[in-house]
Amino acid sequence: MSFRNISSWAIRNPVTPIVLFMFLTLAGLISFMRMPVSLQPDIDFPIVWVNVSQPGASPIEMETQVAQKIEAAARSIQGVEEINSTVREGSSTTVVQLAIGTPIDRAVEDMRGQIAQIRGDLPEGILEPQVGRADTTSDNDLANFAAVSTGMSLEQLSWYVDNTVSRALLSVPGLATVERTGGVTREIRVNLDPVRMQSYGLTASQVNQQLRAANLNAAGGRAEIAGSEQTVRVLGNAASAYQLSQTQIAAGGGRSIKLADIADVRDLYAEQRSYATQDGQQILSFNFSRAKNESDVTVYDGAVAALRQIEHNDPRVHFVELNNSVHYAKAQYKAAMEAMVEGAVLAVIVVFIFLRDWRATVISALAIPLSAIPTFWFMSLMGFTLNQMTLLALSLVAGVLVDDAIVEIENIVRHMRMGKTAYQAAIDAADEIGLAVLATTMSIVAVFFPVGLMPGIAGQFFKNFGFTVVVSVLLSLAVARLITPMIAAYFLKAKGQEAHGEGWLMDRYMALLQWTLRYRWVTVVAGTLSLVATVFLLAMLPQTFQPQTNAERSVVNITMPPGTTLAQTGRVAQEVEQILRTQPEVDSITQRVRVGTAYVAARLKADRTRTSVEFERALAPRLARIPDARVSFRSQFGGRDVEVTLGGEDPAELQQVANQLVAQMGSIRELTAPRISGNLPTPEIVIRPRLDLAATMGVTTAALSNAIRIATLGEIDQNTAKFSLSDRQIPIRSALDQDARQQMATIRNLPVQTATGGSVPLHVVADIGFGSGPSQIDRTNQMRQITIGADLAPGAVTSQAREKIRQLPIMQHLPPGVQELVLGEAKWQGELIQSFIIAVLSGIFLVFAVLVLLYRRFLPPFVNMGSLLLAPLGGLLALWIAGWPISLPVYIGLLMLLGIVAKNSILLIDFALEEMEKGVDKFTAIMDAGHKRAQPIVMTTVAMTAGMIPTAASLSGDSAWTAPMGLTVIGGLLLSTLLTLVLVPGTFSLALGVEQRLGPKLRKWFTTGGAHAELPALQPAE
């Protein structure tokens, strides 16, 4: 049994294929019901991060003393591709990106080992370095809720969320993290009085150390009294803030005082550094995320059920949903499923219109569920979820799944109308077209299989897409070869001889085909003109990387000058909210305000007339005019719409070049509000020790730093004293009162401990003044970097803006030591385009290999390959008419067109070659191929076009990805099918003529003749 007659075997043994597809369908249904639904595929990014905190340290000190040393240590790890560091006041975060395939757990352990080796070189005052792996799944919040209560204080509600709500949510299967935003954290505040401390000669560090040593419960050992064993405990923890205030503090010289003599001790909460509001009312919000390989929808529904149960158990608390990303995932899933069903129905209607036989239509219709449903089982085996990429693949193949069945059933009906029985027609027709169907399907597999094998980060996403297409198409081939002929043999009814595929339209086509075969060079000229038009459209149409989605909300980022207070940041956030409120598209507004930064999220109405992108680009200039703040919409891809990153070793020169670039970018009309991201100078109080005098008094620079930091910020968390409650421990924060920190005189007179145990005022041993330094330092691959960002103007696309930026004088003549860095989206875009080109070339080569195996000839496959050049033209014309740019989904649609155009030309050429092998002359064989294969080609084209109409129309869900892809496929299908039917026969005839002329000569020149070699003359016996 060969693949050509496998259909005959299935017809004679129907039980086996029926049982096989019953099993596959059942497995697919079970897998579909259990398959997680998520917005994006779960990707394992090999990324290791290292975070080091040193409260109060400036970015410059954190860069030289921490970040640079960690970067140097990270370089020795295997597989490092990129190292990025972000340094802010008191913290340094280094992100190490490794090559795809690097064992991430081993890399994390190697990084911990490297940090342990350099731990002695890092400053003493840092918190213990934290090392971990990036978890992109947990970084994406599923939803954000506000907790509302009239019976609790803000501190009580904050603890209620941290304790009760978090425990309930974390018990939901698949839920990974819960994070609170806003609210306060309870702590015991020891507000030190600087004047009294100075009078007693005490420092903030001494007070904290004594509280830490005295206020704790500790183990005391074990004793045996009265014949029984008892555990000994030492209970030194104060029972209340008042009792803590009565703690005796050693003041030196044998004296002791009460803590209340030098400080105001209160049971309060930490200094508020952030808050959140909803429509002007302050709220306490929290968000949650799912674990890897879990369903967005299932986890979200479980979390909502848990919150409703909390409300039922405790009527004092009510939860209000602020936003979520699950609605978008649900909408995309629903739209994809509807598009598949609608496309399948339209494809079936097309079959009925052409064949006018309800039995043949039913058989063709069965191919869609029998191909689509088992696909879910194979997706489950490969670990895929129902995400944006797999749903995109299923939408793309909605019309393709029926193609093979259409070709099979149309050929069977043609044989029946030749006077054969349904049984015999099914056997003869299936055997006749078997290899052609195999080749046409493998042409699509050959195109998309390399896409599934793409390397890098892009390959992690497109693996879901490519393999889903491959599996579904292979299953449609199995259905067409095993199920369709088998059911046709037993279900169709033969009606005797009758005309098939005749009519006025066929007569006109045959006349045109005959004319092209007489004037064959016209087809070559027409093909060349089509190629020129394709290249022209590719160069003319604007390009962007990813299409802008119509999001449910728009987010405004606010960055204030360094030194801005929480109240000042809140006033700017309120101004932004007032501007947003004037827009009719806005439904509700949420603020998250921190010291110096904030974001304002506007939830948009579902029935709005403008998309979220149009809304943002219309308001961006107005927001950019807000004084004393950097205000811009957050790009859907993070950061701003267009970003340029410069790198160099000299910070001053780098800043100068960045300023020139910002000034020149202002002249580009496609850009709005170009600015340098971050890196604003922050005001500082600079303390320079008088080293000679300090040394005389035994005051070290480290002691100065420690005394000032503890007095102004409090001790670091791991060194603070703790106050024990019945259910948790809370920190005891010893620091100057907030009012005292607002006076320079307080800072000047801070007591600093000397070597003898006494203290001296700070101004005695140090000079105190004002200065400035960077608020944030960004580094890439061990060099400084600066990012310049801008928003796109209405109607502009990324490619236009980037091209004009590259033409700016400063970018054409960057000074030595400064270079443009390709990072983030630009780097990913470059990798993706390179991988796509390799995948396309690999696919074309595989298609060629399939054709060589099918034809067993050399030149005819080149005719098929030449027909691939006709594929993009119709799609590009459709984009030009619609006014849409070329984007990633357009390239995906063009990939599908390559497979379909090859499929159509294979049906023509394969039939002609088979006829010629039977002795039919070239002209008659090509004419007969056009007559016999035009109808199945047109049927499959119209069926797939009908199947893609719901995807292109995108009546539900977001059309940002599906509409360009669907329009490209539809336009390319229609035009390429017309060009294939008209141009390929003439070009094929020319190729056969060339082969007939050159074949004998090449055989004579380069071979000994092979099967055509002449026998040597007989020699007479001696």
- Among 379-383, 645-649, 989-993, the range scoring the smallest mean pLDDT is 989-993
Residue 291's pLDDT is what? Answer: 83
717 pLDDT above the threshold of 60:
yes
Residue 1000's pLDDT is what? Answer: 66
Query: Residue 136: which pLDDT band, with cuts at 50, 70 and 90?
Result: low
Query: Residue 680: which pLDDT band, with cuts at 50, 70 and 90?
Result: low
947 pLDDT above the threshold of 80:
no
986 pLDDT above the threshold of 60:
yes
Q: Is 344 left (phi over 0), alpha (psi -120 to 50) or beta?
A: alpha
Q: How far apart are the first and last CA of the chain?
A: 52
Residue 958's pLDDT is what? Answer: 62
Residue 375's pLDDT is what? Answer: 92
372 pLDDT above the threshold of 70:
yes
Residue 412's alpha-carbon distances to 238, 316, 907, in angstroms, are: 92, 72, 15
Strand partners, 145: 286, 321
26 pLDDT above the threshold of 90:
yes
212 pLDDT above the threshold of 70:
yes
957 pLDDT above the threshold of 80:
no
Rounded Cα distance between 968 and 959, Å, is 13
Instruction: Tell me which range, 269-278, 295-304, 443-452, 738-747, is most confidently predicted by mean pLDDT.
Output: 295-304
138 pLDDT above the threshold of 80:
no
64 pLDDT above the threshold of 70:
yes
How is residue 851 written in tokens? 């054709």
Decide which of 899 and 28 is more confident: 28
For the segment 410-427, the average pLDDT, to the nearest whole number, is 84
For the segment 58-68, the average pLDDT, to the nearest whole number, is 86
For the segment 517-541, the average pLDDT, to the nearest whole number, is 84
164 pLDDT above the threshold of 70:
yes
Percent of the chain with pLDDT strictly greater than 90: 4
Distance of CA 434 to the CA centre of its chain: 41
Query: Residue 307: which pLDDT band, with cuts at 50, 70 and 90?
Result: very high
2 pLDDT above the threshold of 60:
no
Q: What residue type is 31 in one-letter code?
A: S
Nearest to 907 by CA among 949, 950, 941, 876: 941
Residue 715's pLDDT is what? Answer: 66
Instruction: Tell me which range, 18-27, 232-241, 255-264, 479-488, is most confidently predicted by mean pLDDT.
Output: 18-27
Residue 28's pLDDT is what? Answer: 92
1 pLDDT above the threshold of 60:
no
For the segment 830-845, the average pLDDT, to the nearest whole number, is 80
Condensed to tens digits (0 to 9), the pLDDT of residues 784-804 reads: 888 888 888 877 777 778 888
Residue 505's alpha-carbon distances to 508, 512, 517, 986, in angstroms, are: 5, 11, 18, 20
24 pLDDT above the threshold of 90:
yes
Residue 1019's pLDDT is what? Answer: 59
Condensed to tens digits (0 to 9), the pLDDT of residues 585-638 reads: 888 888 888 888 888 888 888 788 888 888 888 888 888 888 888 888 887 666
Q: Which ranges of 215-285 would DSSP assign to H, the alpha helix?
A: 241-245
* Rg of the chain on CA atoms, in Å: 37
Alpha carbon dihedral 801, 803, 804, 806, in 10-degree steps, equals: 120
Residue 225's pLDDT is what? Answer: 81
Residue 697's alpha-carbon distances to 251, 692, 703, 704, 753, in angstroms, are: 19, 9, 12, 12, 9
Residue 308's pLDDT is what? Answer: 92
If DSSP codes are grouped into helix, strand and coil, which group holds residue 143?
strand
Condensed to tens digits (0 to 9), the pLDDT of residues 432-483 reads: 887 778 888 888 888 888 888 887 777 777 888 889 989 998 998 888 888 8
1010 pLDDT above the threshold of 80:
no
- Among 77-91, 331-345, 815-829, 950-964, the range scoring the smallest mean pLDDT is 950-964
How is residue 125 written in tokens? 């005052």
Residue 134's pLDDT is what? Answer: 78
Distance of CA 346 to the CA centre of its chain: 33
Residue 1014's pLDDT is what? Answer: 62
Query: Residue 4: which pLDDT band, with cuts at 50, 70 and 90?
Result: low
> Which domains can be identified in the chain, with CATH numbers?
1-34+357-499 (1.20.1640.10), 47-133 (3.30.70.1430), 187-222+230-269+682-774 (3.30.2090.10), 501-540+857-1001 (1.20.1640.10), 553-681+777-823 (3.30.70.1440)
Residue 714's pLDDT is what? Answer: 67
* Contact between residue 134 and residue 95 where contact means Cβ atoms under 8 Å apart: yes
Nearest to 894 by CA among 862, 870, 863: 870
| pTM summary value | 0.77
* Contact between residue 375 and residue 478 where contact means Cβ atoms under 8 Å apart: no
Percent of the chain with pLDDT strictly greater than 70: 93
Strand partners, 593: 275, 598
Condensed to tens digits (0 to 9), the pLDDT of residues 963-976 reads: 888 888 888 888 88
Strand partners, 788: 644, 676
